[in-house]
Each structure stands twice: as C-alpha cells, then as structure tokens.
Amino acid sequence: LYKILHEIGANAHEGVTPKELDKMAHGLCQTYNVKPAFFGLYDFPGAFCSSVNDMAVHGIPDDTPLKNQDIFTVDFGVELDGFMTDSAYSFIIGGKAPKKTKKFLATIEEALAEAIHICKDGVRVGDIGAVIEGIVEGKGGYGIVEDLGGHGIGTEVHEDPHIYNYGNFGTGEVLREGMTIAIEPIANMGSGDITTDDDGWGIRSADGTLSGQFEHTIMIGRTKGEILTK
C-alpha cells in the first residue's frame, strides 16, 4: 500500500486529473497482486478517495486537473489474503505552498506520529484522541473534524472500535496487543464543521478552508505499535 500510495503522489502534478491517477492505482494494484479495498465498498466508484483543498474526505476521483499548490489527499486501502490496510497522505501539488499551508499539514502529520507513539497494550481510545486534539487544536489552533475518525481494521475495512480524533486521557475502550487500528487525524484550517456534497460522498469544510488528512494502519504491540503501512 505504501508503495502504491506514494507512487500515486509522485505522479500527481499540475494538469493530471484524479481520475487518471485512479486508473493508475487500479493498474498498480494488479502489479502488486492486491485488491483496491475501497472500490465498490458501499458502492464507492473509485480505487481511492481523492480530496482536493477544502474537501476533507471521500471525494470521488474526477476529471478536474490538479493545480500547483493544491492539497491533494489520497485515502487508499488494499486487500491482501483477506486482510485490509488503510492509509492516507495529503500531498502538495508542485511541492510549493504558503508557509501556513505547510505548517497546517505538518501539524496533522505530527499528531498522527505522536498518537502512534503511545500505541501499546493497555492504551485507551481516549488517550489517542487526547493526543491528536492537543496537537491539532491545542498547539496548531486548527479545527478537528469531530464527525470523522479512525477505526478498527482487519477482514473488513471498518471495524470497531471507532478511533476519535478528540477525547480525554484514561477514557474509552482499552486496546490490546494484536489489535489492528487505523488512526487518521482529519482537520481543516477553520472551524472543523463540514458539509456533504450533492453526490453523497464528498465531505468538505463548511467554511471553505483547506483540509488535510494523514493515516496509518497500526498493530498494537506489547510495548509499542507497529506501522503496517510504511
């Protein structure tokens, strides 16, 4: 998954359309002998979710050419031998963007890294949420999209428990060694409020501000978490 996701990112440049990259993703899945886990899931029509700028999640890959400085988020999952993995990355088209945009994305990525850092047997769902909230909202001043979050993952893409991107330390379900979860902080530069597109899929920031998402699938270990999507 990591190889495919970042090959998509490497080919995402000005003038290319998400639909063209979606076709590439299907081909890469065949090359690596994996199945695109999102294709057909709840009738989703793409291999991956393509979210650009104010789109937070679940955008359908379309024919709109990407532009330099766009935030292009690829949320992608694959199935191998009946098991699922799920990962997301927010790319900057052309690599250059205002400092405030880069700081915004770096803050979300930092929140993911710090949440993964505490993952071990006995950690609680609320601990993960509290870490993410403290960095994204407390340190960065950005809006967490509270209606969206991570999840358990295994033979199905979405399993229990729900992994909130906010919370309180010492609360929520206890995670045990051997469990696999997807942690995915999702935020925007504004309030965190969202609205859904007419197609029923794309979810955008309600105030039109930029959105970002980073995600990894983690296996809970005895003393630390193992990233399965890197």
Question: How many angstroms separate the CA atoms of 91 and 136, rounded?
Answer: 18
pLDDT in tens, 25-67: 999 999 999 999 999 999 999 999 999 999 999 999 999 999 9
Identity (one letter) of the amino acid at 127?
D
Within the chain, which residues score under 70 in pLDDT? none
pLDDT at 131: 99
Please answer whether residues 185 and 163 qualify as being in contact, where contact means their C-beta atoms are separated by less than 8 angstroms: no
Strands 71-80 and 211-213 turn out to be unpaired
Q: Which CATH architecture has domain 2-227?
A: Alpha-Beta Complex (3.90)
Give the pLDDT of residue 140.
Answer: 97
Question: DSSP states of 54-120 as a string?
Answer: TEEE-PPP-SPPP-TT-EEEEEEEEEETTEEEEEEEEEETTS---HHHHHHHHHHHHHHHHHHHT-S
Check residue 111 and give its pLDDT.
Answer: 99
Strands (E), 149-229: 150-152, 159-163, 180-183, 186-188, 194-196, 203-205, 211-213, 216-220, 225-227
Report the pLDDT value the prediction gives residue 160, as an integer from 0 to 100: 98
